[in-house]
Amino acid sequence: MSELTEWRITGLQALAILFVAVIAIEGGFAASSAINYNQFYKALAQMQVSLASLQVSQGSPGSNVLVIFSVENPTGYQDMILKDLAISFTVNNSTGSQIQGNTGLSALTPSVSLDPMVVRNVTMNFQMQNLQPKNYVFLFTVVIDLSTFLDSLVLLQSAFSCNTSKAELCPIISTTATAVGLFGGGGGGGL
C-alpha cells in the first residue's frame, strides 16, 4: 500500500511563490528590453539618410527648388521612431550670391515609425527670389531625432553637397550621431 502525501501550502508560502514568479517575469521583460535597447544603437549605425532628388526650375521671379530626402532603416530593428526632422540649407551661385534657410526642428505629429526596409520621403520646396537657375552649389544639413521604447533621443545629422553643374547627385559628406538623455530614462550609449 502506498501512502498519499498531502501537500499543503500555507498563505506565506503561496505569497513567496507568487513573489518569485513576478520577479522572474519582470526579469525576463527587463532582459529583453535591455537587448532591444542595445540593438537600437546597432541599427542607428546603419540608418540611411539620402538626398533622393534635387530639381531646380525656372520660376517667377526666380528659381523653384524641390528637394526630396529619404530616411531608411535597413536593419531588422522594428522599434525605431522618427520624432523630429529639420533641414537647413545654404545656396551659393556663380555670381557670389548666397541664400540660407531652414525648416526648423518641428515635432512630427504623430511620430513616424521607421519600419525595417521602408523608405520615408520628406519633401522640401522653396523659392529663390531673383536668382535664375544657373550653376548652384547647395549645402544641405538634415537632422533627424530618433527614439526607441525608452524614449532615448539620438540626433542623427547628415550633410550633403550638391553642385548643379555636375552630373552626380549630391553625395553625403558627413554623418554625425549624438545621444541626448531625457528625464524619462534612455539616452546615453553611443555608436
Q: Cell triple for residue 95?
A: 555670381
Distances in Å between the Cα of 87 and the Cα atoms of 76, 104, 172 are 27, 7, 14
Q: Indicate the pLDDT class of residue 189, thresholds 50, 70 and 90.
A: very low
Q: How far apart are CA 83 and CA 81, in angstroms?
A: 6
Q: Does residue 110 or residue 166 have the better pLDDT?
A: 166
Q: How far apart are CA 81 and CA 72, in angstroms?
A: 11
Q: Indicate the pLDDT class of residue 132, thresholds 50, 70 and 90.
A: low
pLDDT digits (tens, 9 = 90+) for 71-88: 888 888 877 888 888 888
Q: Does residue 7 or residue 136 have the better pLDDT?
A: 136
Contact call for residues 138 and 166 (beta carbons, < 8 A): no
CATH of 41-180, one of 3.40.190, 1.20.58, 2.60.40, 3.40.50: 2.60.40
Distances in Å between the Cα of 32 and the Cα atoms of 28, 37, 38, 49, 83 are 6, 9, 10, 28, 23
pLDDT digits (tens, 9 = 90+) for 147-163: 776 666 778 888 888 88
Q: How far apart are CA 18 and CA 9, in angstroms?
A: 12
pTM tops 0.85, yes or no: no
